[in-house]
Amino acid sequence: MNYLTVRRPAVANSGLSTLGSFDRLFDSVFSGVPGWDTRKPAVDIRADEQQYTIEADLPGMSEDQFDVRIEDNLLVISSLDKEKSAGSDKGVNNGEEHNGYLLRERRCGAFHRSFSLPKDADAGKIDATYRNGVLSVVLPKKPESKPRQIKINRG
């Protein structure tokens, strides 16, 4: 069995499971800790016989604002927002106007997501496209790992 690292975003009124309750409790306890980033982009991961597909929501960004790479058998999607790194959001949270913003709730700043590559993924053929605010990363499966029909000969 192959595994990908997955973050479960909290969904209101989604039914209370033990794991979901624990995730919400964990997020609420550590949400104020510096460096604990809960504003990572949401992702969907699909798999079929041919490939794995990871789709990440990155609205309002351009292709040159994020990076997709393979490091130590991990698929890494990361970004560094130029405004955030320059410190231009100072004062927004305490009511002071900065760059025209009085309130800024939409995601800004750097993020970093890592996914363990499944053993049957072909790292040399990974492809990424960005369209309409969604980054799609396709990880094809190695040919030897794809299901194949075995012909039964009459004996």
> How much is the pLDDT for 89?
44
Q: What is the pLDDT of residues 139-148, one digit of tens each?
A: 999 988 767 7
Does the pLDDT at position 17 exceed 70?
no
Q: Does residue 12 lie within any of the structural domains?
A: no
Contacts of 106 (CB under 8 A, 6+ apart): 60
Identity of residue 79: S
pLDDT at 152 over 70: yes
pLDDT of residue 76: 94
Q: In what order do the strands lie in the sheet with 127-131?
A: 43-47, 51-57, 134-140, 127-131
Question: Which residue did the predictor score with more confidence, 83 or 47?
Answer: 47
Q: Which domain, by its residues, includes 136?
A: 18-142
Q: Which pLDDT score is estimated for 130?
A: 95
Task: Tell whether 85 is covered by a domain.
Answer: yes
How high does pLDDT run on average in the chain?
A: 76
**What does the pLDDT read at residue 88?**
44
Structure confidence by residue, pLDDT tens digits, 86-121: 444 444 455 555 678 888 776 567 888 999 999 999
pLDDT value of position 90 = 47
C-beta of residue 138 within 8 angstroms of C-beta of residue 56: no
pTM of the model as a whole: 0.61
Identify the CATH number of the domain in which residue 94 sits: 2.60.40.790
| Percent of the chain with pLDDT strictly greater than 70 | 61
Residue 3 in any domain: the answer is no
Counting the structural domains of the chain, the total is 1
The DSSP annotation for 38-101 comes to: --PPPEEEEE-SSEEEEEEE-TT--GGGEEEEEETTEEEEEE--HHHHTTTTTTTTTT--BTTB
Chain centroid, CA 59 distance in Å: 13
Whether 10 is in a domain gets the answer: no
d(CA 121, CA 135): 18
Give the strand order in the sheet containing 74-79. Answer: 66-71, 74-79, 111-116
Where residue 5 falls among pLDDT bands split at 50, 70, 90?
low
Evaluate whether residue 72 is within a structural domain: yes
Average pLDDT over residues 18-34: 59
Residue 140 is given by DSSP the state E
Residue 80, pLDDT score = 72
